[in-house]
Amino acid sequence: MQNIHEPSAIGRRCESLRREGKTIGLVPTMGAFHEGHLSLMRRARAENDVVIVSIFVNPIQFARGEDFDSYPRDLQDDLAQAERAGVDLVFTPSAEAIYPDGFQTYVDVTEITDGLCGASRPGHFRGVTTIVTKLFNLVRPHRAYFGQKDYQQSAVVRRLVDDLNLDLEIVLLPTIREADGLAMSSRNVRLTPEERQAACVLYASLRLTEERVEAGERNTKLLLDEMRTMIETEPLARIDYVALCDPETLKPLDQIEGPMLAAIAVRFGETRLIDNLLITLP
C-alpha cells in the first residue's frame, strides 16, 4: 500500500491509473477508523480496480470552538487497518498543502445545507463540499463511497455532483452499529463510560419512531415529542436537534405520506453525536 502526501503527486498517480484503464474507488475519511470506515473500503475493493482512501481532518469544516484539535487521530493504526482492508493507496495531505497561503475559493451548496447539522454547524458543509470537490478533482474517481451515518453529508454531496455535472457515482452504504445499536463513530472513543451507556438512547429513540410509524402513527409533532421525551430520560443527553424530514430535500415534514428521514443530534458532555434512520411506510 502506497502512502502519498502531496496533492500534485496523487493527481499524477491517478492520471496514470486512468490512462491504464483502471477504475478508481475513493473513500474520503478523517481517519480514526472503525468498522463503518472499513465497510466502505471493502465495498470499494469489490467494485474497483484501485481503492484510494484519503485521511484528512479537514480544518475548514470545523467552526471555532468545535473539536478540531481534540478530534481522534491515529495514523499508524489507520494505515495498518487500510492495508488489511485491501486499500491500494492512502492520501494523507497536510493542511498547508490543501489550503496553501492565498487559498480563497469555496464550494457552497445552498438550501439542502440550511437545516439539521447545517443549522447547528454554520460553515460545516461549505468545508465538506470544498474538500470533497478538491479530492474529486485530484483523484477523479469513478465511484466515491459515503456512509448513511452522515446522511445529510451524502445528500449534499449528491447535490454537488448533480449540480456541477461531476462525472462519478456516489455510493451510499448503511450505518454500521455497535451490538447495542450505537452508530459507530470516531468520536465514540471520547465518551466516558457513563456517556457511552447513555448514548444508546439515540438509536432507541429512532427505533421508537420507526415502530410508532409502523403501528400507524402519522402525527409528526407527536412523534417528535415522543423522541425528545425518550432522549430526555437520559440526564447526560442534551438535544441539539430532533427532526423528521423529506429524505430528498431534508425539509421538515408536516405530514407523513411516503419515506422519511428521522435524524437527531445529541450532545453528551463535550461530544456531539448524530444518527438517523430512513423510515418507509408499511
Active site residues: 37
- Kindly state whether residue 265 participates in binding ligand AMP, applying the rule CB under 6 A: no
Residue 216, CB-side half-sphere exposure with 13 Å CA sphere: 0
**Closer CB to ligand AMP, residue 145 or residue 224?**
145
In this chain, which residue has its C-beta nearest to ligand AMP? 147
- Exposure string of 150-169, with b = 16+ CB inside 10 Å and e = fewer, is bbbbbbbbbbbbeeeebebe
The residue from 7, 25, 36, 93 that contacts ligand AMP (CB under 6 A) is 36
Grid look-up 469544516 returns 61
Q: Which residues are 219's β-sheet partners?
A: 255
The residue from 78, 79, 147, 237 that contacts ligand AMP (CB under 6 A) is 147
Q: Which stretch binds ligand AMP (CB under 6 A): 72-80, 99-107, 176-184, 246-254?
A: 176-184
- Answer yes or no: is 150 a known binding residue: yes
Q: Which stretch binds ligand AMP (CB under 6 A): 69-77, 147-155, 233-241, 245-253?
A: 147-155
Q: Which residues have C-beta within 8 Å of that of residue 225, sequence separation ≥ 6?
A: none
* Binding map of ligand AMP across residues 40-79, x = CB under 6 A, - = no contact: x---------------------------------------
- Kindly state whether residue 150 participates in binding ligand AMP, applying the rule CB under 6 A: yes
The residue from 186, 205, 209, 276 that contacts ligand AMP (CB under 6 A) is 186
- Answer yes or no: is 85 a known binding residue: no
- Kindly state whether residue 188 participates in binding ligand AMP, applying the rule CB under 6 A: no
The residue from 183, 237, 245, 273 that contacts ligand AMP (CB under 6 A) is 183
Give every strand in the sheet of 260-268, ordered side by side.
237-245, 260-268, 271-279
- Kindly state whether residue 220 participates in binding ligand AMP, applying the rule CB under 6 A: no
Q: Which stretch binds ligand AMP (CB under 6 A): 14-22, 29-37, 111-119, 251-259?
A: 29-37
Residues in the site for ligand AMP, rule: CB under 6 A?
Answer: 29-30, 36-37, 39-40, 146-147, 149-150, 173, 175-176, 183-186
